[in-house]
Amino acid sequence: MKKQSFEKPRIESTVAGIFMLLSLLFLYILKNGGLLSGVNSYALVMFIVEAVILCPILVFLIWDKKSFISMMRFKQVKVRIVLLAILLEICITPVLAVINNITLLFTDNVAEQSLGGGLTETPYILMILVMGLFPAVCEEACMRGVFLGAFMRSGRKMAAIVISAACFGLMHGNANQFFYATAMGIVSGIVVEATGSIIPSIVMHFFSNFVSITYLYFEHYTQVANDQVSTMLSELGKSDTAQAVNELSPELAGKMMTTVEITSLIISVILAVVGTLAAIRIIRKMAEISERTEQLRTLKLPEKNASRIINPVLAVAILVWIADIVLIELAKHGIVI
C-alpha cells in the first residue's frame, strides 16, 4: 500500500496566517480610525465585523473549490447528533463558566459588555440572528472548516484541533474570551472529527450564543422592572426593605458575600467535573452513531510522514495577536499607556 505523504508547509497555513494579520489590522482601523463611525446601527456594525470572517472562506472557495468542499465538511447528520450536540454544550457550560470566572480575576467580561451595548436598541430576534446565528455559521465555517481542514492535512489531527482552537480564541481579541473560546474550540474540533461534520459544532456555537443573549436580555429587563418598582415604592414612601438592606453592617454584608462566593465556587467546580465526564460519554456516543469510533480513538496519533502545521507566517500572526492581547491587558491595568 502506498504511504500517504504530507507536504510541508502547505499554502493553507500561510493563507490562514495572512488572514489573521489582516483581521487584526481591520479591527485596529475599526477601533481607532472611525471606519464605521457613520453607522448608527449596533446590529449592522456587528454584522460587518462578523462578515470579515467570510474572507478566508471566499478565498479558498475561489482558489480551490474541490479542496474547499473537502475542508468544510458540511455533511448531513442524524437528528440524534444535533440533539446530542445541544446536550454536549449544556454539559461543557459549567467548565467554560469556571474558566471565565478565573479570567475575570484579572480582566473584564468583554463579551457581556459587547452584547450589552446593543440591548436597548436592538430587538431580541434581530440580536439572535446577528449575534447568535450569523457568527455561529461564519466562525465555525472559518475555524472548524477552513482552518481546521487546512491544518488537518498535516496529518497531526490533535495538534490541528488545538492550533485552530487557539487561533479561534486569539481572534476574539481579549484575554477574557481567549481562554474559554479556546477550550470550546478544542471540544468543537473533537466533535467535528467524531462526527465527520461541521454541523454539530455550528449547533453548539449557536446554542451557546442563544443562551447568552437570552440571559442578558432577561437580566436587563428584570433590572429595568426592579428599578421601576423601587422608584414607585420610593415615591409612595414604602422603602422599608431597601432601608433594612442599607442598615446591614459592612462586616455582616461582607461575610454574607464571602459565604455566597465560596458556595458558588464549590457548586461550579462540582458541575464542571460532572459535566466534563458527561461530555466525554456524549462525544463517544456521537462517534458511535456516526460510525467514526476508530477516528476518535486514534485522534492523538499522528499519521506516518506527518508534517508540521505552523510555518513562519502563521507563527508571526499568532505572536502578533498574543502581543496585542497582552498590551491591551497591560494598558487596562495602567502598566503601559
**Mean pLDDT over all residues of the chain?**
82
Q: How confident is the model over 55-74, as pLDDT tens digits?
A: 777 777 777 677 777 778 88
115 band by pLDDT with thresholds 50, 70 and 90: low
Cell of 244: 433594612
Cβ–Cβ under 8 Å, residues 115 and 131: yes
Residue 124: HSE in the Cβ half-sphere, 13 Å Cα cutoff: 12
Instruction: Quote the CA–CA distance of 268 and 97 in Å, as a whole number.
Output: 8
pLDDT of amino acid 6? 43
Cell of 64: 480551490
Cβ–Cβ under 8 Å, residues 272 and 98: yes
Instruction: Quote the CA–CA distance of 197 and 200 in Å, as a whole number.
Output: 7
Q: If you write DSSP's letter for every residue of 213-252 in order, what string do you get?
A: HHHHHHHHHHHHHHHHHHHHHHHHT--HHHHHHHTS-HHH
Question: Residue 129 belongs to what H/E stretch?
Answer: none
Q: Which residue has the cell 471565565?
A: 100
2 band by pLDDT with thresholds 50, 70 and 90: very low
SS3 26: helix
Query: Amino acid identity of 254?
Result: G
Q: How confident is the model over 292-333, as pLDDT tens digits?
A: 999 999 898 887 778 888 888 999 999 999 999 999 888 887
- Span 195-204, average pLDDT: 96
pLDDT of amino acid 186? 97
166 contacts: CB under 8 Å, gap ≥ 6: 182, 185, 318
SS3 83: helix
SS3 122: coil
pLDDT of amino acid 276? 95
pLDDT of amino acid 40? 66
pLDDT of amino acid 1? 39
